[in-house]
Amino acid sequence: MSPRTRPSASGRLLRAARRLAAPAAAALLAVFALSSAGTANAVTVPAPPSGWTTVFSDNFAGAANSAPNASKWKFDTGAGSSFGTGEIETMTNSTANTHVDGNGHLAITAVKSGGNWTSGRIQTTTANVGAPAGGKLKVAASIQQPNPASGLGYWPAFWMLGPGQWPENGEIDIMEDVNALSKVAGTVHCGTDPGGPCNESNGIGSGLTACAGCQTGYHTYAMVLDRTNASNESVAFSLDGKTYFTVTENQVGAATWKAAFDHKMSIIFDLAMGGGFPNGVCGCTSPAAGTTSGGAMHVGWVAAYTTG
């Protein structure tokens, strides 16, 4: 289904390091946390895999109720209708919608007031992460999905966007869920809209797949853009280290793939309300009158690693 696309140019498990009296206790805690999917005890951004290098990361440290680090993130504000997806919220730069919690988490919260919804959308200040020629890029985040009492219309997303024209310059949706279903979808967008080799505006995606416990705990969502095979590059999506969907260059053609993915991209977190994806899944217009205000997407850490 269609993600947070913008039809023209422009476009979370880390806690802040605890001050433990014994270094051995800190090390033990870190090992336990990084081996336990769905928990919120990690104390650092995970180190890169052997042979990889960290090229971007954030642990969302900061004073409670403050904005995310302005040297890494910028707000993308305005009416959701301007993003081309049918969403109905207004994205703001208010800490009521987007803030760090003082314990090493980012919270993006959808709020209804007077019949109108507000929420938040942040992206890296530049298109700053990409796979080197002949190498790989891994982008991952620890996220707890929104868990409102009534979630019809909620649309959390962790994704990447190429600079320039959409969808030609690419989009990779690493995590999307709608209507608080506790599911996950991975999708790529490329080529032309409508139609084209990526079937726009739906893109080529996994469809929603089960994501048990993803609303009640932190889980690691990741994608690997693999350029080691120059004749058939690929994007693979994983949940807690298990790959569940892969898209290859041969599915869309070399020229289309190169334009979409052989360059740097921005990383984005946002929480939309309503729009084409949630509406398409429920066969209704969302959010509903009874949709719960105040549901939040929480991010513990985010990181990008490269190799090659």
- Residue ranges per structural domain of the chain: 45-307
CATH number for the segment(s) 45-307: 2.60.120.200
Q: What is the full per-residue pLDDT of the chain (308 aa) written as tens digits? A: 444 444 333 332 222 222 233 333 333 333 333 333 433 434 489 999 999 999 999 999 999 999 999 999 999 999 999 999 999 999 999 999 999 999 999 999 999 999 999 999 999 999 999 999 999 999 999 999 999 999 999 999 999 999 999 999 999 999 999 999 999 999 999 999 999 999 999 999 999 999 999 999 999 999 999 999 999 999 999 999 999 999 999 999 999 999 999 999 999 999 999 999 999 999 999 999 999 999 999 999 999 999 99
Residue with token string 């209507």: 179
Under DSSP, is residue 5 helix (H, G, I), strand (E, B) or coil? coil
Q: What is the rounded CA–CA span in Å between residue 265 and residue 223?
A: 13
Residue type, 225: L
CA 48 vs CA 11, 137, 190: distances in Å: 28, 11, 29
Q: CA 54, 55, 61: angle at the middle one, nearest 5?
A: 80
Q: Are 91 and 77 in contact, with CB atoms under 8 Å apart?
A: yes
Residue type, 141: A
Q: Are 157 and 269 in contact, with CB atoms under 8 Å apart?
A: yes
Q: What are the percentages of helix, strand and coil residues in the chain, rounded to 5?
A: 10, 35, 55
Residue type, 210: A
For 273, the token pair is 């309300």
Q: Are 175 and 184 in contact, with CB atoms under 8 Å apart?
A: yes
Nearest residue to 118 (alpha-carbon basis) of 152, 161, 68, 77: 77
Q: Quick one: pLDDT at residue 32? A: 33
Beta strands in the chain (DSSP E): 53-58, 73-75, 78-79, 90-91, 98-100, 106-109, 111-113, 116-119, 121-124, 136-144, 154-161, 171-176, 183-189, 204-205, 209-210, 219-226, 234-239, 242-248, 266-273, 296-307
Residue with token string 């599911």: 183
Q: Quick one: pLDDT at residue 44? A: 82
